[in-house]
């Protein structure tokens, strides 16, 4: 099927049913077809955007018709995607002004989980998730302030990527809490989410909140390591499933699955994260929602959803003093959380503790919405990245999801781990942020200088051997004793045993600075033909050194010395 034929098929499906509740508006078919042959890395993919994201010439409603306006320019992320070859189909339903995790606070009709129409879709990015789950688009953009890019993913069996705040531009996005908002990505695979992220993660000078990572930020040596990665889980008495035994069992199974994939479970104190989460709606960040649309609230509050109006108008009660005090408290909690992060590489949580019916939400809209944020509300406040992935079905057929959470700029690592968890690891690129370094002597595991690697957060990737054209020498007078690796293209030897360590990029320079002459860092060829940064020795140091190539490596040489010592 050609790209144009596929786009026509999508529009035929949309036009065959009611527009709402999934969509608020769709592009004219001809406008979408005009982009069908745009070349780029995303050519052949279709997408939708939440209706708080601007599309040139189309109304932006934020699910409030009286608020609607027609932008003259599309949001930066929309332009980036179209320039990359993706074809926009339309704009999707949402909780009004992105206020809610339920997907029911909208005049365009409440979306439902594609698994059971009696249950909510999750929000606020409800229509974006449903459009992907229904197969109407390949991916969709939402926004995430408190969990809106993750909860709908869990309720519709999808991948939900919540990037670091500022990584994707929010220029042309109606703000909810401007300091916490981010554009999120829904897809059916981690590979698609990774491709969309790659096309959109660029600094935007038009967005004052735009950020780029520094070298080493987001480095994940644990992901490439041969030793187990560590994933944090809440203490048993801090887990909350709100009576949903099916969800509790699926989470336990997910933990076991992650252990089977090489992870080591670490029980952490989740209370510090919960304390941060409680600041979001009980603290002055609610006032930021009011600041975003203050003029509209003042003049047209009667046009708003009653629950949304009550939440946003409640922001008026906070003072500047409240704001500063809450910021101080958040800083304290982030500092306290460092103790947990020292124990784990990622935090592994249920995306939500449970799922609710439309009837249950209607009867108790605020408290049940709060329950859905139990595992999500702290993430943006604490400047973290998150990836929601499917993790099975409850006995009643409803989906359950889990979320990987990591430090800022850890998206690539989370996507790679998520792909491993969902069984599609071969399609997602390995995370960046590390330099693989081969060590041959005193920096090997258990040797006296190994601490120079471990204290920099480096992790062992694997053991390996050099190609045949290398010799190894014991260097005289070095403290602690060290070998020197020298390349000899004319030599055909056994290869030298070594270890490859993943060193975070921002710590590689300080590591190299500690390497004393005659050693240095060069490039070595391994026995499989790959090349890697490696300790090498300058030739001037070889005269007077003892060749130990025949031992196969430094450890073999050390063992020979120990054996000789025992003889005496």
CATH code at position 503? 3.10.490.10
Is 443 in the same domain as 333?
Answer: no
Q: For position 148, which CATH number holds?
A: 3.90.1300.10
Is 443 in the same domain as 351?
Answer: no
Is 353 in the same domain as 443?
Answer: no
The domain of 175 spans 3-427
Please give the structure tokens belonging to residue 347: 């935090």
Is 464 in the same domain as 372?
Answer: no
Q: Is 50 a catalytic residue?
A: yes
pLDDT at 568 > cutoff 70: no
**Span 49-90, pLDDT tens digits:** 999 999 999 999 999 999 999 999 999 999 999 999 999 999
**pLDDT category of residue 428 using cuts at 50, 70 and 90:** low
Q: Which of 427, 459, 479 is the last residue of a domain?
A: 427
Is 278 in the same domain as 203?
Answer: yes
The Cβ of residue 391 has, within 10 Å, a number of other Cβ atoms equal to 24
**pTM of the complete model:** 0.92
Alpha carbon 365 to its chain's center: 29
Q: Is 125 a catalytic residue?
A: no
Q: Which of 427, 445, 469 is the last residue of a domain?
A: 427
Is 469 in the same domain as 510?
Answer: yes
Q: Which of 74, 124, 125, 169 is catalytic?
A: 124
Q: Which of 84, 113, 126, 148 is catalytic?
A: 148
Is 376 in the same domain as 468?
Answer: no
Is 409 in the same domain as 521?
Answer: no
Is 258 in the same domain as 287?
Answer: yes
Torsion of CA 128, 132, 136, 137, to 10 degrees: 90
Q: Which of 375, 409, 427 is the last residue of a domain?
A: 427
User: What pLDDT is stored for residue 202 in this prediction?
Assistant: 95
pLDDT at 566 > cutoff 70: no
Is 114 in the same domain as 172?
Answer: yes
Domain count, the chain: 2
> How far is Cα 465 from Cα 499, in angstroms, rounded to an integer?
8
The Cβ of residue 278 has, within 10 Å, a number of other Cβ atoms equal to 16
**Span 374-388, pLDDT tens digits:** 999 999 999 999 999
Residue 216's contacts (CB-CB under 8 Å, 6 or more residues apart) are 433, 504, 505, 506, 507
Is 218 in the same domain as 313?
Answer: yes
Burial state string for 344-376 with b = 16 or more CB within 10 A and e = fewer than 16 = bbbbbbbbbbbbbbbebbeeebeebbbbbbbbb
Q: What are residue 553's DSSP bridge partners?
A: none
Is 69 in the same domain as 203?
Answer: yes
Q: Is 188 a catalytic residue?
A: no
User: What pLDDT is stored for residue 59 in this prediction?
Assistant: 98
Q: What is the mean pLDDT of residues 495-514?
A: 95
């Amino acid at each position: 099927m050609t790209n144009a034929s596929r786009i026509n098929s999508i529009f035929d499906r949309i036009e065959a049913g009611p527009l709402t509740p999934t969509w608020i508006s769709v592009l004219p078919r001809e406008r979408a077809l005009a982009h069908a042959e745009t070349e780029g890395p995303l050519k052949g993919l279709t997408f939708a955007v939440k209706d708080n994201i601007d599309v040139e010439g189309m109304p932006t409603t934020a699910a409030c018709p009286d608020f609607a306006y027609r932008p003259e320019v599309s949001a930066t992320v929309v332009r980036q995607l179209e320039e990359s070859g993706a074809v926009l189909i339309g704009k999707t339903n949402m909780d009004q002004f992105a206020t809610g995790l339920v997907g029911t606070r909208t005049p365009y009709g409440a979306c439902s989980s594609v698994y059971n129409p009696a249950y909510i879709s999750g929000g606020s990015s409800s229509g974006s998730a449903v459009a992907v789950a229904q197969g109407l688009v390949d991916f969709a953009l939402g926004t995430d302030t408190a969990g809106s890019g993750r909860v709908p993913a869990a309720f519709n069996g999808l991948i939900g990527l919540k990037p670091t705040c500022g990584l994707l531009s929010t220029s042309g996005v109606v703000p909810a809490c401007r300091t916490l908002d981010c554009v999120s990505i829904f897809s059916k695979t981690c590979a698609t989410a990774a491709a969309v992220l790659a096309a959109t993660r660029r600094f935007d000078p038009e967005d004052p909140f735009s950020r780029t990572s520094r070298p080493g930020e987001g480095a994940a040596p644990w992901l490439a390591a041969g030793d187990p990665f560590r994933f944090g889980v809440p203490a048993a008495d801090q887990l909350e499933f709100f009576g949903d035994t099916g969800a509790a069992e699926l989470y336990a199974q997910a933990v076991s699955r992650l252990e089977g994939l090489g992870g080591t479970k670490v029980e952490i104190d989740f209370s510090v994260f919960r304390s941060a989460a409680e600041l979001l709606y009980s603290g002055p960040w609610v006032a930021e929602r009011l600041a975003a649309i203050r003029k509209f609230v003042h003049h047209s509050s009667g046009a708003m959803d009653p629950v949304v109006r009550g939440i946003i108008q409640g922001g008026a009660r906070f003072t500047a003093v409240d704001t500063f005090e809450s910021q101080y408290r958040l800083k304290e909690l982030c500092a306290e959380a460092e103790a947990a992060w020292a124990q784990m590489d990622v935090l592994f949580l249920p995306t939500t503790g449970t799922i609710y019916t439309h009837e249950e939400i209607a009867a108790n809209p605020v408290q049940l919405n709060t329950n859905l944020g139990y595992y999500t509300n702290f993430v943006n406040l604490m400047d973290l990245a998150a990836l929601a992935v499917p993790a099975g079905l409850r006995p009643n057929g409803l989906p359950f999801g889990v979320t990987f959470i990591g430090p800022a700029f850890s998206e690539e690592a989370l996507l790679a781990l998520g792909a491993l968890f969902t069984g599609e690891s071969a399609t997602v690129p390995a995370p960046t942020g590390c330099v693989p370094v081969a060590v041959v002597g005193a920096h090997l595991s258990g040797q006296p200088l190994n601490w120079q690697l471990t204290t920099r957060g480096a992790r062992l990737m694997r053991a390996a051997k050099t190609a045949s054209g290398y010799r190894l020498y014991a260097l005289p007078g070095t403290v602690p004793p060290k070998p020197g690796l020298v390349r000899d293209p004319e030599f055909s030897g056994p290869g030298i045993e070594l270890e490859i360590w993943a060193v975070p990029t921002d710590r590689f320079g300080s590591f190299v600075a500690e390497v004393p002459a005659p050693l240095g860092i060069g490039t070595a060829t391994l026995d499989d033909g790959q090349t890697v940064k490696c300790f090498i020795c300058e030739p001037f140091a070889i005269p007077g050194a003892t060749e130990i190539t025949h031992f196969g490596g430094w450890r073999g040489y050390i063992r020979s010395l120990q054996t000789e010592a025992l003889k005496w």
